[in-house]
Structure 1
């Protein structure tokens, strides 16, 4: 069977498989599919039931499929799970320890979005540790909604590369999602799952001070729609047989602040390949919509870094204007490269380019502190 999800389901039908398999390239150039496998149950004591998954779920298995010969390998990723240990004894030799997975494949293991979304929803309630607050649900959180394809939908967690404040010494691959109060739209925290060894699977939450207003994704998109120039342009583009497609809103933590980046595409009502038309950047109270990311960043940050006037008696003032312009230019170049990869359907290339964009924006944020 050449359909990889059907293939693994026939091999091990008692596991639940992630709907988002991804392909990696090994050191010797072979293509290998990787799929996350879950053990589930519906009779775990004192546990809430989640739709069709029951009330117990573990990402206990990592599956690899060689794209050339179809070889399927099952690796135990969570040796503390009693279910996968039982299956391993029932089918001796089928499940191997994840330590036996080739190193070049292990480096591509990522924390699954589906499981992380479930955990984020559960944490939105159970982060409350005070019994009275928990009973009254006074501090209930939610995953914010985002505008896409003419409708609002729950924001999906996304992968990014960043240096975690206070706990990380270098940049690392993480999965993150912002969180908002249940009845408000501002951002109250963001949750992250680490994907790199030796910290794989460790989760962190970064709380924002409640006394300070931090714009959430819904508020940013509302501010975008309320901007007179942007609103006028979008209304014009949505006429004459074309439609505006909102790209994924990217929330990028930079030290003690956030940068929001959202691409806008235009496509014909009858179909066709969407074309990148504008890039919106929001930072603080400023919003810019320009043809490229570079121009949007320049609109917001350009005037901030003009050389400071110096009096004859004053000490020379360091000027990092050229560094900032270089970072803005490179970020714009990488963003355009990402869009080209997206048009070609090269998701790996698109992801790599967007990761570079995020890192450049973080470097830019460090320059403007």
Structure 2
């Protein structure tokens, strides 16, 4: 750079280009989320990332070893007994201008200490731009931890909590390729869904099944509840508990829904033909949809090539409810074929 003729008196050097590196240099006391995301408003791109305060000495709190978050997360592999989504940081994609907004109302004792050390660093929630306010999402790494703990702490009596009756665990994930065994917990799915009351909103949804072990494959193959994290800035967590009659069949878990797709004769024949001769079949996210009083699992069927530059193609969208399967060109058409709506 010293010898370059491209540099002028107005040139600027950007030393810290990544979002995590830039925010981490300003606030090294925060554990940063592993997945920064862009927000597009008024023709500009603003990156957003969540920052967490943590502790291992918080009184009367359960320890948890954090798993199920990206390896790039500042929380990966850590054991804590206090975790709070304390800060949302924004970085302008063009100028690099960075802001750190405090998300609480002064009820985070860990952040209070750091705010006293760096009094000019954090801005209040009132200063968060309205153009970004409606487009931020629920902290992803925090949700991975909370949705796991919900299985134990959703009960409302001390006896149930002590005995472990009524415990849930995150359901096992459905395989993403044909015949693939899976032992991982089901990931969250971002979708428009019904939140509290009748309000529609954008949220992250994760299925829970009956069971108490940390291994998702040990849960029973039925759905106990859908855990919903509202992406609205003032939103929270909701539980939609599966309610079925005494003579009704249990609601399908993601793995059972996938088994129904795999066992459908027409789909099986199509997959056999498509999953050969230079192509392979993969599945999109297993997405729960509430169609009236019915739960429908919806999943895209995608065909990709096996070459170095595969081009994915949507074969169809499968919908599963009560063991019945329909495949159509769109999710709406597949759901309508099952429900008659």
Please say whether Structure 1 and Structure 2 have the same fold, judged by a TM-score greater than 0.5. Answer: yes
1:215-230 map, 5 Å: 215-230=252-267
Measure, in 2, the Cα distance between the counterparts of 1:293 and 1:202. Answer: 28
Q: Confirm whether residue 92 of structure 1 aligns to residue 119 of structure 2.
A: yes
Q: Give the secondary structure class of the aligned counterpart of 1:94.
A: coil
- Could you tell me how far 1:296 is from its partner in structure 2? 3.0
- Could you tell me how far 1:148 is from its partner in structure 2? 1.7
Q: Give the secondary structure class of the aligned counterpart of 2:23.
A: helix
1:120-135 map, 5 Å: 120-135=147-162
Measure, in 2, the Cα distance between the counterparts of 1:120 and 1:269. Answer: 36
Which residue of the other structure, out of 191, 208, 212, is the alignment partner of 2:242? 208
Q: Give the secondary structure class of the aligned counterpart of 1:105.
A: helix
The structure-2 alpha-carbon separation of the partners of 1:216 and 1:66, relative to structure 1 and needing over 3 Å to count, comes to same
Aligned residue pairs: how many?
298
User: Does structure 1 retain, via aligned residues, the 8 Å contact 2:100–2:122?
Assistant: yes
Q: Which moved more, 1:289-298 or 1:97-106?
A: 289-298
* Counterpart for residue 82 of structure 2: 56
The structure-2 alpha-carbon separation of the partners of 1:126 and 1:300, relative to structure 1 and needing over 3 Å to count, comes to closer
RMSD in angstroms over aligned alpha carbons? 2.1
The structure-2 alpha-carbon separation of the partners of 1:295 and 1:111, relative to structure 1 and needing over 3 Å to count, comes to closer
Measure, in 1, the Cα distance between the counterparts of 2:255 and 2:36. Answer: 29
The structure-2 alpha-carbon separation of the partners of 1:3 and 1:127, relative to structure 1 and needing over 3 Å to count, comes to same
**Could you give the per-residue CA deviations for residues 170-199 of structure 1, whole angstroms, max 9, x where no partner exists?**
3222222121112311111111222325xx
Measure, in 1, the Cα distance between the counterparts of 2:329 and 2:235. Answer: 39
Measure, in 2, the Cα distance between the counterparts of 1:296 and 1:177. Answer: 22
Q: Confirm whether residue 235 of structure 1 aligns to residue 267 of structure 2.
A: no
* Counterpart for residue 34 of structure 1: 48
**Could you give the per-residue CA deviations for residues 62-84 of structure 1, whole angstroms, max 9, x where no partner exists?**
00001111011100002311111
- Could you tell me how far 1:133 is from its partner in structure 2? 3.7
**Could you give the per-residue CA deviations for residues 150-185 of structure 1, whole angstroms, max 9, x where no partner exists?**
342321122222333xx4353222222121112311
**Could you give the per-residue CA deviations for residues 320-352 of structure 1, whole angstroms, max 9, x where no partner exists?**
xxxxxxxxxxxxxxxxxxxxxxxxxxxxxxxxx
* Counterpart for residue 203 of structure 2: 174
- Could you tell me how far 1:298 is from its partner in structure 2? 5.3
* Counterpart for residue 318 of structure 1: none
Measure, in 2, the Cα distance between the counterparts of 1:127 and 1:294. Answer: 33
- Higher relative CO (Cα under 8 Å, sequence separation at least 6) belongs to 2
Q: Give the secondary structure class of the aligned counterpart of 2:311.
A: strand
Task: Provide the TM-score with structure 1 as the length reference.
Answer: 0.75
- Could you tell me how far 1:45 is from its partner in structure 2? 2.7
Q: Give the secondary structure class of the aligned counterpart of 2:123.
A: strand
Which residue of the other structure, out of 301, 315, 320, is the alignment partner of 1:282? 320
**Could you give the per-residue CA deviations for residues 28-79 of structure 1, whole angstroms, max 9, x where no partner exists?**
x221101111011122233223241422110000000011110111000023
Segments of 5+ residues of structure 2 without an aligned counterpart are: 1-15, 67-77, 212-218
The structure-2 alpha-carbon separation of the partners of 1:223 and 1:4, relative to structure 1 and needing over 3 Å to count, comes to same
Segments of 5+ residues of structure 1 without an aligned counterpart are: 305-367
Q: Give the secondary structure class of the aligned counterpart of 1:104.
A: helix
More helix by share: 1
User: Does structure 1 retain, via aligned residues, the 8 Å contact 2:301–2:317?
Assistant: yes
Q: Confirm whether residue 300 of structure 1 aligns to residue 338 of structure 2.
A: yes
User: Does structure 1 retain, via aligned residues, the 8 Å contact 2:261–2:267?
Assistant: yes
User: Does structure 2 retain, via aligned residues, the 8 Å contact 1:40–1:53?
Assistant: no
User: Does structure 1 retain, via aligned residues, the 8 Å contact 2:169–2:210?
Assistant: yes
Task: Provide the TM-score with structure 2 as the length reference.
Answer: 0.80
